[in-house]
Amino acid sequence: MKRVMVCVDLTNESLDLLKQDIKKKSWSDVDEVHLIHGFWLQSYVDSFHYTSYPPENLYGDIEQSVIEVFKPLENKLLKSNNKIKVISKCIIASSPKESLVSYAIDKKINSMLIGTRGKHGIAGLFSSSFSEYMVRHAPCELRIIRGD
């Protein structure tokens, strides 16, 4: 069984890039596609208490919103091959990168597809690149697509 994981950052640029790539790729050999977004759980400690954002009571709403954003990608995949099983998921974690690698291992993902914006200069200096992390840690074949 061939499983592909598509990591989506939910920006319009990334979604458009992935929609274009989905049209180009042949999905005939793929059985499952996992559309995954990693949502960063931020934790704060002050002198009186520990808090995190988002609060746990919002997890369901966040996941539902992400799944709604995935609908156009899901429809494009199903149009390209109606035998594909599409699984949409939002992983909320303090380290989304590590959680996505663990997810890929647990689900026995054969191939990952990620889009990159290719940050350069100051923006690239102060942000850790998701694609760079995946190049080093992905447990499977990795395909990185880049916009113009």
How does pLDDT run across 68-110, given as a tens digit for each residue? Answer: 999 998 988 888 777 899 999 999 999 999 999 999 999 999 9
Alpha-carbon torsion (11, 22, 91, 140), positive or negative: negative
Place of tokens 């009571």: 57
pLDDT score of 88: 95
In a domain? residue 46: yes
147 assigned to some structural domain:
no
Count of domains for the chain: 1
Residue 12 belongs to some domain of the structure:
no
Interval 27-50 mean pLDDT = 89
Domain range enclosing 69: 3-7+22-94
Q: What are the tens digits of pLDDT across the range 46-56?
A: 778 888 889 99
Tokens coding 77 = 């995949």
In this structure, is residue 58 part of a structural domain?
A: yes
What residues are paired with 6 via a beta bridge? 35, 113
User: For residue 36, what are the contacts with CB-CB under 8 A and spacing of at least 6?
Assistant: 5, 6, 7, 8, 88, 89, 90, 91, 100, 103
Q: Residue 16 domain-assigned? A: no
Alpha helices in 1-148 (DSSP H): 12-24, 59-80, 96-106, 121-126, 130-137
